[in-house]
Structure 1
Amino acid sequence: MIEKCTKKRMLISIALLIGLSIAIVLLEHHLTQNSHHTSHFHANHSGNHSGNQCWLHGEKITVLEDCHPCTEFEKNSQSVGSCVATGYKEKIRCETSGDTFRSCERVLWLEERRFWTLEITSLVLGLVSSTFVMWRQRLLERQSLQKLQKQINI
């Protein structure tokens, strides 16, 4: 079936699939952007040195800094207890207890960067592969044509 498709139809189909993929990624990003603060933190961390886990006691919190990776020093020295569990932390302000850190499961911007790196790598590899296939096809057609010309001339 794919052999019967014209080049124009194949290009249109590929463009539509790429557009649909981008639309899905943007929609997913928009839908998950608002909910990533509350659903991805590590609540059962016993290594929190300050002992201030106000978010577990129903205190109203405000996120001061988004989830981001801990430094190697913080991980090794365990100076920030929330870095031990997941390697990520976010700074929050509790209404009565004050500022503290809590563990979080993922860093949104880091995941997005990894995703786009994967997508760009896949695109580049796809373009290189398709270029090589087209070059090889032309080479084989040229060799076939030369062989046919030699047979006709003999």
Structure 2
Amino acid sequence: MEMDIKGILDHLPHRYPMLLIDRVIDVKPGESIRAIKNVSFNEPFFTGHFPHHPVMPGVLILEAMAQAAAITSFTAAGKKPDDNTVYYFVGIDGARFKRPVVPGDQLSLEVNVERSSRGIWKYNGKALVDGQVAAEADLMCTMRVLEP
């Protein structure tokens, strides 16, 4: 199942400047996702990271993987986020950064569900540029409904 930006906005609570998914190539609910983040020089973080040598911050690459993971979890649960639903990052293990991500790159995000138990989802994620691993990590996230 593919998803354009409208579908992504329906499945993620994130908005500018924190929305880091541009297109979903394929999602298998509760199993895996392949998504795209187009990295533009117009990203707000490039102003300060770094002015003369722009590099996408590693934490934002991890955040992009977590957002892709969230789409997998929301589709598996048959839910869409609302004003009372939050998707939290609860853990990162084995994060490794292999190459810088710079303006003009296209991040290909590949996230696989490792397991899900009691509302905690564990994933293995990779961010690639031109087929080369830029970053990889094991992620843990949870979906919570806030009290009104």
Fold conserved between structures, TM > 0.5: no
Instruction: From the CA coordinates, give the structure whose radius of gyration is larger.
Output: 1
TM bin, normalised by shorter chain, reads: under 0.3
Higher relative contact order (CA 8 A, sep 6+): 2
- Please state which structure has a larger fraction of its residues in strand: 2
Question: Normalising by the residue count of structure 2, what TM-score does the alignment of the two structures yield?
Answer: 0.23
- Please state which structure has a larger fraction of its residues in helix: 1
